Amino acid sequence: MSKRDYYEVLSVSRTATEAEIKAAYRKLAIQHHPDKNPDNTEAEEKFKEAAEAYSVLSDAQKRAAYDRFGHAAAGAAGGGQGFGFDPGFSNIEDIFDLFGFGDVFGGGRGAAGGARRSTGQRGADLRYDLEITLEEAAAGKEEKLNIPRLETCDECSGKGAEKGSEPENCITCAGSGQTRYQQGFFSVMRTCPNCSGRGQIIRNPCKKCGGAGRVEKEKVLEVKIPAGVETGSRLRVSGEGEAGVNGGGAGDLFVVIHVAEHEIFERQGANLYSAVPITFAQAALGAEINVKTLDGEEELKIPAGTQTGTVFRIKSKGMPALGGRGKGDLFVATTLITPKTLTKEQRKLLEQLAEIEDVEFQDQSFIDKVRNIFG
């Protein structure tokens, strides 16, 4: 039975480039592959025909001979299968490997296709929750933290094997850490059950780490808390997490800040809010009082006639902005104090005030009357 022209098989012109030939073959190989067409003899034949055509046209010397002598070039090449093509792709992943797509169906090749050793595994990140006061959040501080973590075993240098011995490549996965399972059209990669993905078997485990390559230790770290942090702020300390496995890098340490509630101040962003109690006399007559700030005490002028709930702003007495971009403000709300018990003198003065509250004044304002009563 005469063979079809190879260019016709791939549906390309005789001047097709190498890239066009590859693309045409890839399309036909996927379409007619036996994995995709089980028990389909016609598809299998088309798959082999396309593979034969590609094996010739993808090789510059074979293509030149074919262009000159056609199928007769087979005899010059040594008979048998003509140009010696190999249509024996075991599964569809081999087709993708041919074009540089070897990881499409789940990772590197197994032992038969050139084993790829498993790479090191990065260590886990760690989290440390740190509670600080509002004053510490405002000023910043350096804190010493005791961090329990897994570190590389110094006895075996992380190999997990006793001194004088070395880990051996796993025979199940040939050191790749993965095994391949064929499920119909797809090839699925799974963690090797024999070595648990390490790619190696330890015959003589290190006595200190038991073959794990890591041991639990506690390390004291000094962490700088910048001024202006708030609850939820997260500080990253690179490389201070757990040690990696098989030479993998260490994870990171994340310090999560929690600022404790303050008995006086409430925080909203960079601003602080508080309340200050004042007497009726101070509210009515005006006064100068001292209010607490994070830096100490600040003098605040209360004007005459101040109502309860009046809010005063003290600039730059709030929290510093994270990164050093200025400071917020302190907002102070006044709260009028009503005494629960009165002395005789206080009662007498308030009774005098009550007598004049409903009187219409002609020559003096109400506030002047109050000043006279309270001296």
Mean pLDDT, residues 157-184 taken together: 83
Query: Is pLDDT above 50 for 111?
Result: no
Average pLDDT, the chain: 82
Asked if residues 314 and 332 have their Cβ atoms less than 8 Å apart, the reply is yes
State the pLDDT at residue 263. 95
For 277, counting Cβ atoms within 10 Å of its Cβ (0-12 exposed, 13-18 middle, 19+ buried), the class is: exposed
Query: Is pLDDT above 70 for 287?
Result: yes
Asked if residues 268 and 286 have their Cβ atoms less than 8 Å apart, the reply is no
* DSSP conformation class of 364: S
* pTM score above 0.75: no
Mean pLDDT, residues 78-89 taken together: 45
Asked if residues 66 and 57 have their Cβ atoms less than 8 Å apart, the reply is yes
Q: Using one digit for the tens of pLDDT, what is the confidence trace for 24-74?
A: 998 898 888 877 888 888 888 888 888 888 888 888 888 888 887 777 765
Q: H-helix or E-strand containing 362? A: none
State the pLDDT at residue 347. 84
Q: Which of 4-8, 29-33, 99-103 has the lowest mean pLDDT?
A: 99-103
State the pLDDT at residue 365. 57
State the pLDDT at residue 222. 95
Q: Which residue has the higher pLDDT, 283 or 346?
A: 283
- Residue % of the chain over a pLDDT of 70: 80
State the pLDDT at residue 264. 95
Q: Using one digit for the tens of pLDDT, what is the confidence trace for 320-372?
A: 998 778 899 999 999 998 888 888 888 888 788 777 765 544 445 555 655 56
Q: Which of 230-234, 245-249, 301-305, 318-322 has the lowest mean pLDDT?
A: 245-249
Mean pLDDT, residues 262-284 taken together: 93
Q: Do strands 200-201 and 168-169 pair parallel, antiparallel, or not at all (unpaired)?
A: antiparallel
Q: Which residue has the higher pLDDT, 154 or 119?
A: 154
State the pLDDT at residue 290. 95
